[in-house]
A and B are shown apart, each in its own frame.
Chain A
Amino acid sequence: MTVRTRLLDREVGRALSSVSAAAKRGLGDPALAELVVIRASQLNHCAFCLDMHLAAARELGVSEGQLDMVAAWEEAEGVFDERERAALALTEAVTVLTEGFVPDQVYARAAAHFDEGQLAHLIGLITAINNWNRVMVSRRIEPGGYPS
C-alpha cells in the first residue's frame, strides 16, 4: 500500500474541530449526535472515525442494541424513536449527495422533529463528520489511535 501523508495543517485542524464543536453544542443531544456521526462514517467507510465514535457512544451510554442496528435503522423498528429515525434519514441524504439532492420528504420529516435552530445544527453536524470522514479516508489514517 502507498504511504500517504499524515499532514493536516494546524489551523485547518482547529477549524474542523470548531465546526464540529459548534454544531454539536447547538444540537444539544450528544447521544443522537453520536448516532448521526456513526451512520455517516459507515456510509463513507471511515475506519478511524468509526473506532473513535463507537467508543464515544459507549461512553455516553448509547445502547449496544442501537449501535448494532444503526447501519440498518430503517428495518429496525422499535430500536430508534421517530426523532432519531428522522435524523438518520437526513444524515443519509446529506451524506450521499452525488446520487441526488435531499428529498423533500426527508427534509420535511426532519423539520417535523427539529426546530430551525436544531435543524441548522444537525445539518452542520452531518457536514462536520463528512469533513472528518474525507480528511481521514483520503490520508488513510488507521483506526485505533483514539484514546479510550
Chain B
Amino acid sequence: MTTAHEAPYAPEHSPRLDWAKHAPEVYKAMVRLDAAARRGLDPTLLELVKIRASQLNHCAFCLDMHTKDALAAGESVERIIQLGAWEESRHFYTEKELAAIELTEAVTVITDSFVPDEVYERAAEQFEEAELAQLIAAITVINAWNRFGVSTRMVPGHYKAGQHK
C-alpha cells in the first residue's frame, strides 16, 4: 500500500506570463504605490491584512511570500493559521487587528456588496483618519498584487523571506 507520504506531489506549473518584464512601467508604478501605501502602518498588522486578502483572492504566490515574511518578522504560526477563521478565534488578535481584518474582507469582496457602515465604523474607532486612509490604500494594493499573481499564475514556493522588502 502506498501512503500519501510516499506518493509524489503534483508537478509544478509554469507562470503564464512575465508581466513585469512586458509592462515594466506598470510594475515600477506598482512598487511606488506599495511603498506609499504602507507608510504609517504597523508592519505586523500589515502582514495580517496581506495574508487575509491573499487567502480570499486565492493568490498562492502572495501567500508564500507574505507568510514567509510574517514568520521571519516574528509572527506566530498560530496567528497565521487562525487567520482563515478569525471570527471564531478573536482572542488571538487585538481589537485593532480585528477591525483591520474585517475591513480587509469587506474591501476585498466588493463585488458581493459595498463596504458596510458597521465594518467601516469599527475600523474608524480603532484607526485615526490618516491611518485609516492608509489602511484602505494598503488593502487595495495587496488586492492589486493578488490580481497580477493569480492572472499570470505566478509560481509559489521559491520566495525567500525579505526578498521583496
- A11-B36, A119-B17, A137-B115 are contacts. A4–B120 as well, Cβ < 8 Å? yes
Total A-B Cβ pairs within 8 A: 166
Which residues from A are CB-within-8-Å of B108? 98
B33 at the A interface (CB under 8 A): yes
**B110 and A133: CB pair below 8 A?**
yes
Which residues from B are CB-within-8-Å of A131? 33, 140-141, 143-144
Kindly identify, within residues 55 to 88 of chain A, every residue whose CB is under 8 Å from any CB belonging to chain B: none
Q: Which of A120, A126, A134 contacts B22 (CB 8 A)?
A: A120
Q: Which of B26, B107, B117 contacts A121 (CB 8 A)?
A: B26
**A135 and B140: CB pair below 8 A?**
yes
Dominant secondary structure of chain B at its interface with chain A: helix
Which residues from B are CB-within-8-Å of A16? 33
- A8-B133, A95-B111, A117-B22 are contacts. A127–B58 as well, Cβ < 8 Å? no
- A97-B57, A117-B22 are contacts. A130–B17 as well, Cβ < 8 Å? no
Which residues from B are CB-within-8-Å of A98? 56-58, 108-109, 111-112
Interface string of A31-59 (1 = CB under 8 A from B): 00000000000011100000000000000
Which residues from A are CB-within-8-Å of B143? 130-131, 134
How far is A130 from B17 in the complex, measured between Cα atoms in Å? 20
**A96 and B17: CB pair below 8 A?**
no
Kindly identify, within residues 3 to 34 of chain A, every residue whose CB is under 8 Å from any CB belonging to chain B: 4-5, 7-9, 11-12, 14-16, 18-19, 21-23, 25-26
- A8-B137, A98-B108 are contacts. A130–B147 as well, Cβ < 8 Å? yes
